[in-house]
Amino acid sequence: MARLYTSKRGRSGSTRPISKKTPTWCKYTAEEVEALVLKLAREGNSPSIIGVMLRDRYGVPLVKSVTGKNIDDILRSGQQAGTVPEDLNALLKKADALRRHLEKNKKDSVNKRSLAMIESKIHRLVKYYRTTGDIRPDWQYKHVVASVA
């Protein structure tokens, strides 16, 4: 997704490996990497944190190059995937925190606009995830439900 206040994407992010083939120095097999992903997910880590941990601790440059599946697919096959994708969940938490802030500070117009931008981004992501089938077709964003979850 794009940044909140522009239609462009940011430049931040790590550099991905050049080759999509499994490097010769990677000592893990596909089954071992899948077991590591499921073990790290059981410990309560999100898919992005799992990827960083595999890269930094275990020396696995790309899970997809080793296993042929990405981390979300591995978690779905192991029945450990969440009901809401990770980026959407982060936006829901951010919107909930801003809504709680605005309950205390009703005249904070800058954050009112920020909340509107975050909620519009949530609606765009929900629309995308419905078309890809990552969330249920009847799933809707309601700020009351999001604050409880």
Instruction: Using DSSP, state whether 97 is helix, strand or coil.
Output: helix
So what's the pLDDT on residue 4?
67
Provide the residue type at 90 as one letter. Answer: A
Return d(Cα 10, Cα 3) in angstroms, integer: 7
So what's the pLDDT on residue 145?
54
The torsion angles phi and psi of 58, rounded to 5 degrees, stand at: -105, -10
So what's the pLDDT on residue 20?
80
Instruction: Using DSSP, state whether 11 is helix, strand or coil.
Output: coil
> pLDDT tens, position by position, for the chain (149 residues)?
666 666 677 777 777 777 888 888 888 999 999 999 999 999 999 999 999 999 999 999 889 989 999 898 899 888 887 788 999 999 999 999 999 999 999 999 999 999 999 999 999 999 999 999 888 999 888 876 555 44
So what's the pLDDT on residue 126?
93
Smallest CA-to-CA distance from 96 within 148, 33, 136, 39 is with 148
Query: Domains of the chain: which residue ranges?
Result: 30-77, 86-148
Q: Could you tell me if residue 131 is left (phi over 0), alpha (psi between -120 and 50 degrees) or otherwise beta?
A: alpha
Q: Which pair of tokens denotes residue 137?
A: 């077709």
So what's the pLDDT on residue 34?
94
Q: CATH assignment of 86-148?
A: 1.10.287.10
Return d(Cα 20, Cα 140) in angstroms, integer: 37
So what's the pLDDT on residue 14?
73
So what's the pLDDT on residue 21?
84
Q: Which pair of tokens denotes residue 55?
A: 């890269």
